[in-house]
Amino acid sequence: MAPKAPSQRVRELIRAAARAALESNEEWLDELDRATVAANPDIADDPALATIVSRANRANLRHFAAANLRNPGDPVAPNLSPETLRMARDLVRLGHDVSTLDIYRTGHNVAWQRWNDIAFGLSSNPQELRELLDVSFRLAKDFIDSTLAGIDAKMRSEYDELTRNIQAERRKLVEHLLDGGPVSLDSAEARLGYRLNRPHTAAVIWSDRPDDDPSCLDEAASAFGDAVGRRDPLIVVASAPTRWVWVKGIRALDTDRIHGTLANAPHVRVAIGSTADGLEGFRRSHLEALATQRILSQSLRSERVASYSDIEMIALLTENPDGADNFIESTLGAFEDAGPELHNTVLTFINEQCNTSQAANRLFIHRNTLTNRLETAQRLLPRPLAETTIRVAVALEALRWRAQETSHSGNSDEPRAD
């Protein structure tokens, strides 16, 4: 059943209210912006998004009020102007789902309070006020619903093309930043939807199986942000099987929690840089994540998550692969081929400050077994362990991460450990 048309008197009041709304001072419009931003944490943390919301608030207010100034009380057509659609596309470009457009409803709720204040200043007649507010509320609700429905339909029809273009633009801009090219910080932040003048922690997330569904990488990238307690990470599609990720700097890295996010993605791996400040930190942490990825990818070890602090020494050592091979060979000699069990025994012994009892407890073996293994190692090392402890520890760590063509663990000539 169609709603009853408003009376002529109420039409006059609606026109007067629309005129007052259009003449709202800048102070009230700023208040509208602040209230909308405060109601949504995603907006409050993103200056670029806050600017878009401000434009959306004012555009919708002008559209609704102007329509009621021309034809008071008549249904208001949805606001699908080029400006409004540009706003919606900007939201998508900043990585926000179309559902983020519900911020329009927040703006409507705040504006409705302003409309009530205007209405009570126009009439003190209870019947007129009741009809004025009933008609106005219905008009505003229908306007917002139809506007959101129109924008949603338009964005969904453009979404695939938009996201492809966004990914290409985002990668191009990020590569420019990483290369140290000149750029306006404000412009870059607005285009990325990510603040650069703060601490960053970068990650590289990739799949060992490039033909897998890439959606698992996007899910893993978002889950990584959740795991480190940071919403809305910056995610860049570096290639089909690789994502570059940045989050606001994190104080502590819970690798167990990150492992948990990969439970449903068995072939996805995560390399994490250290936390560093500003634009230079944005670059540095990413380069560290890339170095960590290189070590993880080459290693025989099965780690799926590693941070730069885990491999920093190895990354520096293996920047010169030939030099690293020579260092390992000269330091370990025949012990290089002793196998992982004996290697782990010696490395644990060194890490326990060469304390035999503590190392045996850590390895869950008898003290005599540990002593026998250490004697075997001493026979294979070119120089006494007591004189080369640090060099042996570094060489063993490098050997654990270094790529090898075959594993020595199955070598039938391996020396007996005990």
Q: Tell me the per-residue pLDDT of 136-191, one tens digit each, with 9 for 90 and over.
A: 999 999 998 999 889 888 877 776 666 667 777 888 889 899 998 888 888 888 88
Separation CA 353–CA 113 (nearest Å): 70
Residue 73 has pLDDT above 80, yes or no: yes
Q: What pLDDT was estimated at residue 409?
A: 37
Which residues does residue 245 pair with via DSSP β-bridges, in sequence order? 203, 235
Half-sphere exposure of 3 (CA within 13 A, CB side): 14
Burial degree of 295 (CB within 10 A; 0-12, 13-18, 19+):
buried
The structure tokens listed for 232 are 């809305």
Separation CA 340–CA 343 (nearest Å): 5
Query: Distance of alpha carbon 182 from its chain centroid, rounded?
Result: 24
Which amino acid, 47? P
Q: What is the mean pLDDT of residues 240-264?
A: 79
Residue 222 has pLDDT above 50, yes or no: yes
413 pLDDT band, cuts 50/70/90, is very low
Residue 407 has pLDDT above 70, yes or no: no
Instruction: Give the range with max mean pLDDT: 26-30, 98-102, 356-360.
Output: 356-360
412 pLDDT band, cuts 50/70/90, is very low
Q: Average model confidence (pLDDT) for the chain? A: 82
Q: What is the mean pLDDT of residues 314-343?
A: 83
Q: What pLDDT was estimated at residue 418?
A: 36
Q: To which CATH superfamily is domain 197-317 assigned?
A: Reverse transcriptase/Diguanylate cyclase domain (3.30.70.270)
Q: What pLDDT was estimated at residue 336?
A: 93
Residues 86 and 151 sit within 8 Å (Cβ to Cβ): no
Residue 414 has pLDDT above 60, yes or no: no
Tell me how crowded residue 65 is: count the other CB atoms within 10 A of its CB. Answer: 23
Q: What pLDDT was estimated at residue 95?
A: 58
Residue 79 has pLDDT above 80, yes or no: yes
The residue ranges of every structural domain in the chain are 8-163, 197-317, 321-410
Residues 335 and 374 sit within 8 Å (Cβ to Cβ): no
